[in-house]
A = this chain, B = another copy of it.
Amino acid sequence: MQETPKGSRLHIAIFGRRNAGKSSLINALTNQDIALVSNVPGTTTDPVYKAMEILPIGPVMVIDTAGIDDVGDLGALRVERTMQVLNKTDLAVIVIDPEEGITSFEEELVKEIRKRNLPIAGVVNKSDTKTVSPAELATWRQMLALPLLLISAKTGQGIEELKRQMIKLAPDDWEGPQLIGDLVSPGDTVVLVVPIDLAAPKGRLILPQVQTIRDLLDNDACAVVVKERELKEALDSLKNPPRLVVTDSQEFMKVGADTPSEVMLTSFSILMARHKGDLETLVAGAKAIDALQPGDKVLIAEGCTHHRQADDIGKVKIPRWLRQSVGGELDFAWVSGGTFPPDLTKYKLIVHCGACMLNRREMLYRLAIAREAGVPIVNYGLLIAQIHGILYRALAPFPLAQMILEE
């Protein structure tokens, strides 16, 4: 598994008093899916940094502030420790214990966080065992001047809504995983297969291709750019096999045949799916295609309202492939631009476009809404790869995603 560099992980600090349920919340945020947790060693009273995968947010660094959760006021030492944590924080989560309510700890903490202009998500935990009256909740909200979400780390209630809020609160410049740079080491060679069809504008390459070349250069790697027809020749011209071959999805079959099986192979749309959204959630969505039944409702969502062509992928091709895969008729609905329809729960699958007109935050937000509604979501590129039986090989650089597909 390639480690996502620390710099591109969203740093989430979890604050709360000793019995508020910080650890349970961290488990709840990750446990429902496969979580890769690697603790950074520290003393028992120092904050612990945990590199994790929170779906659909992606790779994050959770800062468990066990050392500064003592009862009572923030003493000088704990203020200092809090400030050290906040220096590295992109987003703060405050966990409130409904048995205790708001104390000076939470009030001073919010003050400290606000001084640094950091976003805060506030949750009242233990909704499964302690009922909070609307009046009480309103008082607490007013005391902190903060919306508070009722959750249960134990039952999972409100967790997906919290994730959605976290995505909304994440800073604008938070980028998430790199396109390809984290998959290579300096000096590596990566072969990019770029088919030139008649529709490709003269003298240009499409943006994901340019972004991939640039990301390789930024990471001291070398990009070998070639058409599918010359791939074999290009591979033969190298003294050593490349680190990775990346192809346009439409040439996956030919490129797969020409690439030695020991060389990792993926596609530009998989790289973009990870960069723009959350690969694992989309892979789980691709897997859900197998469970579709004739008559199921499928929502096809596009991020923009482009001019549709006769063989439009969203209107024509994807419905055809899905019908063939299911072996019967499906009940399709379409949305484009704007947002999702209010009730998603009636759909068995959401198929989203590549989101070239959406930024990462907006795409993650949509993934979060789908997860909250419990509806699997996949994008065009992954759906195509899955239906053509090539998704597993194309996920070679992403073992976590491969595990989700295999499960």
Complex contact B218–A196 (CB within 8 A)? yes
Q: Residues on A close to B: CB < 8 A?
A: 186-187, 189, 194, 196, 202-205, 210-211, 213-218, 220-227, 229-230, 233-234, 236-240
**A90 to B186 CA separation, bound complex (whole angstroms):** 51
Complex contact B240–A237 (CB within 8 A)? yes
Which chain B positions have C-beta within 8 A of A236? 239
**A216 to B223 CA separation, bound complex (whole angstroms):** 14
Complex contact A233–B203 (CB within 8 A)? no
Which chain B positions have C-beta within 8 A of A226? 217, 222-223
Which B-chain residue is minimally distant from A229 (CB atoms)?
B220
Most B CB within 10 A of own CB, among A194, A202, A210, A225: A225
Which chain B positions have C-beta within 8 A of A238? 237-239
Complex contact A224–B223 (CB within 8 A)? yes
Nearest CB in chain B: distance from A314 CB, A: 26
Q: Which of B215, B221, B224 contacts A222 (CB 8 A)?
A: B224
Which B-chain residue is minimally distant from A213 (CB atoms)?
B225
Nearest CB in chain B: distance from A242 CB, A: 9
Extra contacts besides A196-B214, A203-B211, A222-B237 (11): CB < 8 Å: A189-B234, A189-B237, A202-B214, A205-B210, A220-B227, A222-B224, A222-B225, A222-B230, A223-B223, A223-B225, A236-B239
Which B-chain residue is minimally distant from A236 (CB atoms)?
B239
Which chain B positions have C-beta within 8 A of A189? 234, 237
**A226 to B184 CA separation, bound complex (whole angstroms):** 14
Which B-chain residue is minimally distant from A223 (CB atoms)?
B225
Which B-chain residue is minimally distant from A238 (CB atoms)?
B237
Complex contact A203–B214 (CB within 8 A)? yes
Nearest CB in chain B: distance from A163 CB, A: 27
Complex contact B230–A187 (CB within 8 A)? yes
